[in-house]
Structure 1
Amino acid sequence: MNNFLIRNTVIVTVFLSFAFESLAQTCYEQLTDTIRATITSVQAHDTILQNQDNPHFVILDVRTPSEYNPSHIEKAINYDYYSSSFTATINSLDKNKIYLLYCGSGTRSTLAFNIMTANHFRNVYNMSGGLSSWNANLFPVVTYTEPQFTYFGDSIRTFNNTPAGTTDSTCFTLTNSANSQLSITEITGLDGTVFDVEFDTQLLLDGSFNYTFYFYYSPDDNLSDSAIATITTNGGSHLVYLYGYPELSSSFTAENTSGDIHFLSINQGIYVKTKDNTESFIELYKINGSVVLSKQCSFISTEELASGMYILRATSGSQTGVMKFVR
């Protein structure tokens, strides 16, 4: 994410003050704050930068297609205010997302803002001055449209205490964070495993809409299992790491596909145990992908790590293992 100067500390802080609650029926965390405001184009620019990877964040351009097509803010989704179906379309959107509205000068976006407020959308922001103000500040615009695949929640999914001969499931919700229609090309990596997936091969997902599908785990013995599913769409791809434990161990927090490498967590750190008791090449990453350490060893101390979520990968010859932990 690009670094930028926060020009208005108060308004940006408000945008960052998201409270979450877990709603099982939606398969992902939802925002609970209610914030509705009119902001300047400068504040809107900062807000877009701050929310580049936020699947809850949506930019709506309510101009006509003839105005939108030649020039619009990147990832902005076009819903024409003058369309007879505008109100119905708006009301079909997720009312718990964060919406930034704009038009040409601010008039239509204000009317759209009023409609969304009256219909109980929780987080709506109206950019005053519209694209005219945006252009006056020389902020970037684009001419192209393309979908963007983003997702809610964790890319590591764990099935615990699933007895052999039964099936457990976990839901995965993706969203189209930009314009044009998103489709799932394929989901690969599960053939020959005890994991499966069910999704709509005919899916055409419009901008700002969500789609939920399920991964399944059906163990046939009492050994742990894992697989890496690759979700490929016309708006990008993503890896989902699946781990299954028919019998949850109280000592080992994660195992690899072959079971040759185990991780033993204690208060001071993590022991890495291979089948032949040799040292492993250890790579420790933050959840954002940045490398914390990489070295040959059989134990890493976690006492000096900053708070956060980490992924630990161990390799010893043909043996590999991956675990996730929170400090």
Structure 2
Amino acid sequence: MHHHACDREYRKLARAAGAAAVVLACLAPLEAPAQQAAGPRMIGVLTEALAATHPTVEGLKSGLRELGLEEGRDVAFDIRFSQGDADALRKGAEAFASSGVDLIFTINDAATRSAQAVTKTIPIVFTLVRDPVAAKFVDTLAEPGGNLTGISSLTAELAGKRLEILKNLAPKARRVWAIHDRDDPVSRAAVANAQAAATQLDLQLVSRPVDTRNALAGAVKEIRPGDAVLAPDGGRLDIAPALLEASLAAGVPAVFPATLYVGYGGLVSYGSDFHAEGFQAARLVERILRGARPQDLPVEGADKIDLAINLNTAQLFGLEVPRKVLLRADTIRR
């Protein structure tokens, strides 16, 4: 927890900077080790989040602590959260490039793209990136090639597994809708993966690319009782939230990419754990701060994938949750 003084400072800063830039380096170094005479290494954190506290940032901090890097003594954080504003995200990235932070830590595709656009030299460690190769953040996973490396959320790879979980929960469903952003290469890769799994699972997967809000509304209207839905991870148009609403309104089972949706009533989700991705990325951050180059550190796949189930929603939809699914679930909402 932060000290009261920190809290006051935080509130003052948050007001002063219009909650755009909050420096959470409140704990002044007591005695810096000799090689740290220049003070703590500055990590610029860039996120679209609504506040400075994000599970991935908390994961990063606790991972660094475990590796012996103390906040205030060894590392300090400058956290820019854009509250979903693309312009604020760009400005945050530019501020890091001009102040010359030691490393930029990004959360999600948009933040990573903003950071990539402003520097070819400052190391960038990304998290919550769905497919770093398709997004052109790295050349290959094994050999990133530039100044970026990080953790992949494995979105495309997990699509088939999501479908399998959906079939376990809704065995009567035959037709599954995959409504996704037409212009998003990651969503396209995920649907291709799901298509292969659907054949094995004896399901008819209807791929429906949309590019406008109207097209999205039209696609949602075609979903019938007895169908099921595979919600996409990311892309524009906020497709997954729209599908959550449709799923609950029509009693149609849907599988989502993150636990967050299950908290809002979604039936089931299967995807990487936000806190764990930050914790996992801490080792990459530590190695770079100790002199490793991002291009020499392979991108890692998220190592903690969470299965979350909402039993209330299952009951509402008249679905029996198989015991094997319950035993495997990491999060159960009742």
| TM-score (norm: length of structure 2) | 0.28
Higher share in helix: 2
Higher share in strand: 1
| Bigger relative contact order, structure 1 or 2 (CA pairs below 8 A, ≥6 apart) | 2
| TM-score (norm: length of structure 1) | 0.28
Q: Which has the larger radius of gyration?
A: 1
